[in-house]
Structure 1
Amino acid sequence: MAQTTRPAVWAGQFYPDNPFQLRQIIEEWFAATLSLPSAKNIRAIIVPHAGYIYSGSVAAKAYAQVKSQSISTVIIMGPAHHYGFRGVSIDQDARYQTPLGLIEVDSPWAAKLAQLTGYKTIPQAHKQEHSIEVQLPFIQVAWPQAKIVPVVFGYPRHKDVQKMAKALTKIMANPQVLVVATTDLSHYLPQAKANQVDAQTIKLIENLQAETLLQKATRGENIMCGVGPVSSLLLAAKQLKTSRLHILEYRDSTAGGGPASQVVGYVAATLEISPPSSGGKTEEALTEQEKKELLRLAREAITLFLQNKNPPHYTPSSPRLLEKKGAFVTLHHKGRLRGCIGFIESSLPLYQTVIQAAIYAAVKDVRFNPVSLDELPDVEIEISVLTPLTKITNPAQIQVGRHGLVIEKGRQKGLLLPQVALENGWDRLTFLRRACLKAGLPPNAWRQGAKIFTFEAQVFAEKPKEEA
């Protein structure tokens, strides 16, 4: 039997029907979103499904957190708005059209979910449903090859939520499957009341209170339209026990120009699942004592060099400081940058790398005059210890706030530390352009053959004098 194609019913109403405009706005939202430094192993997100003018940027914040992960299948759970029924419908064999092209249903995963829950396809539930459709362009931009499993919830019932939650606990073990639960919050209340109700609802979501949300909704309380999808996800998260839910943003429809007398609320959240311990060796963070030792050593190195041009003779107390690592030393004077030099990779032990970087930052950064002994007491020292470089081919893998960047083309190379993007409020695109400029390359060189490397850093600094 030929695979059916569901047309883009809501293009031009809920979101742009022009493919270039649609892709551009989503890419801009993604680029403007700061990734959580700690975000990893995200298995599910909660997003709204209103018109993009109202809630698109909120939804983008959740998708952007997962964009760097390798996702092959997205299970989208939304509430029914246009066809009334009881139970749950799982579309098992179709293609969905959007202005960006076709996106296929992952039939094997849909069949597996149907087998685990006992639910089948109710075609009428999917024909007009916008809560699923408005998610598709985000998925197509983030993961062009991904397939979907559309799931529509009818009138919310406790047994449906339990069945779906049980199935999700098994499915979310797969890191290439993302679960999307979509809901809007309170509908058409005055803004002050809506914000108050939504704050209480968000607190329940944050604390994984699926049962309470379901009870409120079945009593007819105006808290959210997608209580079935959200409660199923939260109940599964609670059963998994190793999950953490992060609320990313709350906004109401007034931000998109809607009237304050009739407000709809929107929330974005991510759900992380901690993987089981593999027993493998991971790179350990420096201890507080080791950080203090390196900071003292950096100051001593600068002081001795300014006094007699000699570096200190030193034997570190910790064997960890004998490991070969790259490091940068950054100097600030009264809140302003005073020097920054380091080594991406080093053949020297860490403590010697810090000694050399500290001296070079003080006297060899060509952007500044050498630091003098008189001003040294007012100079604050910051050290960044680097992980090895990782070459990437997909810029979406860059997590602003977590990754530093190295851009390289020919003999030209530029580095920006992770903290630089956060300190300047840069998004991913600006970070890439600035790294290109640092390398002496055109700002779009990262699109034109330049190699992109990421790294992470342990960053620590001296305490200001008033705190010392």
Structure 2
Amino acid sequence: MTHVLAAAVLLAALFPAQADGPSVRPPAFAGTFYPDDPAALAAEIDRSLDAAGAPGDEPAGRIVGLIAPHAGYVYSGRTAAAAYARVRGRKIAAVVIVAPSHRADFEGLAVWPEGGFRTPLGVARVDAVLAKAIAKASGARYRPEAFAEEHAVEVQVPFVQRALPGAAIVPLVMGRQTGATVRGLAAALAKTCLDKDVLVVASTDLSHYLPKAQARRTDAATAALIEGLKSETLIRKAEAGENVMCGGGPVAALLLYARKAGQARVRIAARTDSSSFGGPVVGYLAAAVYAAAPGATDGPGAFLDAADKAALLSLARAAVAEFLATGAEIEDRTGRAGLAEPRGAFVTLTRKGELRGCIGFIAPVLPLGRAVIRAAIYAATEDPRFPRVEPDELDGLRFEISVLTPAREIDDPRTVVVGTHGLIVEKDGRSGVLLPQVAVDEGWDRTAFLGQVCLKAGLPPDAWRRGARLSVFEAVVFHE
């Protein structure tokens, strides 16, 4: 009874009864999670934004969302700033902040429908029209208990106030992170926000209270899922309560929304953790989520010019020649910026039009120049389908390079476009990959392409119909 009364007193103190609804929510965490002095708070956020600097190479399209942590600023403020720096000063009318519920247990979504959120920097106005539209489309309800002790929305608001002055907010708290709630929110955002200058912020930390080495392995795997747009995997992990991130539902909803907005891409801006403070570790990640119009290119074609492509082909051939002669791996000494960006890449070797070797990296684990060097060596010496290339064969080989965009998981195989998409299939610990040009070269339609990638993985040809995970990627392909 005492606990219930205390909760009632807190709600009454934070949200006194008013004739005009919820009105303005006062700050609950100023002085603990962030400074309660206005000048000190503004100065801290501005220093962090300045330290993050302006973004470098960006994908095509507009930023439709951010992923930002919500710990105390001493722990994750600089990481959060790396996300907000991507949109600092841009024309944004409203910011939809989606946070997980850490205290209240409920189904669905809670919305703060009107009024505002007060911080030491002033009142951030709630866009009541947009809040009402999202609530109607998603089934969200006003639940004051969801906001009473919830820090995950509040700590984002001062960053919005400094990075995007004048932007309104729509605060949302997600209760139980079910697939239905996540997909419903993504559909609601698509219905209400796509034609507006709206930014969606998914508020989340990564793994919680793991030993440092385990935390970093777990967080790296989660970052790869986010960058790969693997929303369905994130939903499954959120529903299972896996210790990968507290806001998996909000993040998955943002990724699904971005895919509805166009060709979605994620750029990780920062990934840190609390290990420098001692004790078990909490992880933090900042990212920007982009959506480009269909047909737009973001990565390979956006930053590789003709000289970059020529340099990569030269590196691939030189790498194989040197390795066959001395067993040494050459370095990328071109100094070209486009080759320093981490990218997935494959090198394909052919002789008189027949395949002689093909190996590469799907994930952007290496700078592009080094990835091509290593893939070329592996294609010449490690492809299990062919004997090792001999030095006297080198002059007769043609080198082809495929530079890949990040893979993204898909739900509907009908979205696969032959000639545009490469395929990855995964099931029961098996996986297979086929590059986009393979389907064109072999004359396959979509169904044949899907069946062949399953066979490549050692799976039945209809595994794509029976629960296998499918991901697609695109490639810029060029050859000698």
Specify if TM > 0.5. yes
**Given residue 115 of structure 1, which amino acid in structure 2 is its aligned partner?**
K
The CA deviation at 1:34 is 2.8
Residue of structure 2 in register with 1:38 after alignment: 57
Question: Structure 1 pair 197/94, CA: closer, same or farther in 2 (3 Å)?
Answer: same
* 1:205 and 2:226 aligned: yes
- CA separation in 1, counterparts of 2:31 and 2:285? 23
**Given residue 10 of structure 1, which amino acid in structure 2 is its aligned partner?**
F
* 1:72 and 2:93 aligned: yes
**Given residue 21 of structure 1, which amino acid in structure 2 is its aligned partner?**
A
Residue of structure 2 in register with 1:54 after alignment: 75
Q: Is the 8 A contact 2:66 2:202 kept in 1?
A: yes
**SS where residue 86 of structure 1 aligns?**
coil
Residue of structure 2 in register with 1:27 after alignment: 46
- CA separation in 1, counterparts of 2:31 and 2:304? 53
Q: Please give the per-residue CA displacement for 1:27-48, whole angstroms capped at 9, x wherever unaligned.
A: 1111122322333611100000
Residue of structure 1 in register with 2:472 after alignment: none
- CA separation in 2, counterparts of 1:7 and 1:285? 46
Q: Is the 8 A contact 1:172 1:179 kept in 2?
A: no
Matches within 5 A, 1:396-435: none
Residue of structure 1 in register with 2:148 after alignment: 127
Residue of structure 2 in register with 1:270 after alignment: 288
**SS where residue 223 of structure 1 aligns?**
coil
- CA separation in 1, counterparts of 2:124 and 2:89? 20
The CA deviation at 1:277 is 8.2
Residue of structure 1 in register with 2:258 after alignment: 237
Higher relative contact order (CA 8 A, sep 6+): 1
- CA separation in 1, counterparts of 2:73 and 2:147? 20
Residue of structure 2 in register with 1:159 after alignment: 180
The number of equivalent residue pairs is 283
Q: Is the 8 A contact 1:41 1:275 kept in 2?
A: no
Matches within 5 A, 1:206-221: 206-221=227-242
Matches within 5 A, 1:38-437: 38-39=57-58, 41-174=62-195, 176-255=197-276, 257=277, 259=278, 261-275=279-293
Q: Please give the per-residue CA displacement for 1:428-447, whole angstroms capped at 9, x wherever unaligned.
A: xxxxxxxxxxxxxxxxxxxx
The CA deviation at 1:61 is 0.7
The CA deviation at 1:172 is 4.5
The CA deviation at 1:210 is 1.3
**SS where residue 249 of structure 1 aligns?**
strand
- CA separation in 2, counterparts of 1:253 and 1:286? 37
The CA deviation at 1:77 is 0.1
Q: Is the 8 A contact 1:41 1:175 kept in 2?
A: no
**SS where residue 86 of structure 2 aligns?**
helix
Q: Is the 8 A contact 1:79 1:153 kept in 2?
A: yes
**Given residue 36 of structure 2, which amino acid in structure 1 is its aligned partner?**
D
Question: Structure 1 pair 210/288, CA: closer, same or farther in 2 (3 Å)?
Answer: closer
**SS where residue 162 of structure 1 aligns?**
helix
- The CA RMSD over aligned residues, in Å, is 2.4
- CA separation in 2, counterparts of 1:245 and 1:182? 15
Higher CA-based Rg = 1
- CA separation in 2, counterparts of 1:110 and 1:132? 15
Question: Structure 1 pair 275/5, CA: closer, same or farther in 2 (3 Å)?
Answer: same
**SS where residue 60 of structure 1 aligns?**
helix
The CA deviation at 1:122 is 1.1
The CA deviation at 1:53 is 0.4
Q: Is the 8 A contact 2:108 2:139 kept in 1?
A: no
**Given residue 66 of structure 1, which amino acid in structure 2 is its aligned partner?**
V
**SS where residue 161 of structure 2 aligns?**
helix
Residue of structure 2 in register with 1:381 after alignment: none
| Contiguous gaps of at least 5 residues in structure 1 | 279-283, 290-334, 336-468
Residue of structure 1 in register with 2:35 after alignment: 16
Q: Is the 8 A contact 2:62 2:291 kept in 1?
A: yes
Question: Structure 1 pair 144/192, CA: closer, same or farther in 2 (3 Å)?
Answer: same
Question: Structure 1 pair 135/285, CA: closer, same or farther in 2 (3 Å)?
Answer: closer
TM-score of the superposition, structure 2-length normalised?
0.56
Q: Is the 8 A contact 1:76 1:151 kept in 2?
A: yes
The CA deviation at 1:276 is 6.4
**SS where residue 203 of structure 1 aligns?**
helix
The CA deviation at 1:117 is 1.2
- CA separation in 2, counterparts of 1:225 and 1:110? 24
Q: Is the 8 A contact 1:43 1:172 kept in 2?
A: no
Q: Please give the per-residue CA displacement for 1:364-402, whole angstroms capped at 9, x wherever unaligned.
A: xxxxxxxxxxxxxxxxxxxxxxxxxxxxxxxxxxxxxxx
**Given residue 74 of structure 2, which amino acid in structure 1 is its aligned partner?**
I
Q: Please give the per-residue CA displacement for 1:192-219, whole angstroms capped at 9, x wherever unaligned.
A: 0000111111111111111111212222
The CA deviation at 1:220 is 2.7
- CA separation in 2, counterparts of 1:226 and 1:286? 35
**SS where residue 15 of structure 1 aligns?**
coil
**Given residue 230 of structure 2, which amino acid in structure 1 is its aligned partner?**
Q
Question: Structure 1 pair 237/21, CA: closer, same or farther in 2 (3 Å)?
Answer: same
**SS where residue 123 of structure 2 aligns?**
strand
- CA separation in 2, counterparts of 1:252 and 1:287? 37
Q: Is the 8 A contact 1:79 1:229 kept in 2?
A: yes
| Contiguous gaps of at least 5 residues in structure 2 | 1-18, 297-301, 308-334, 336-480
- CA separation in 1, counterparts of 2:293 and 2:209? 41
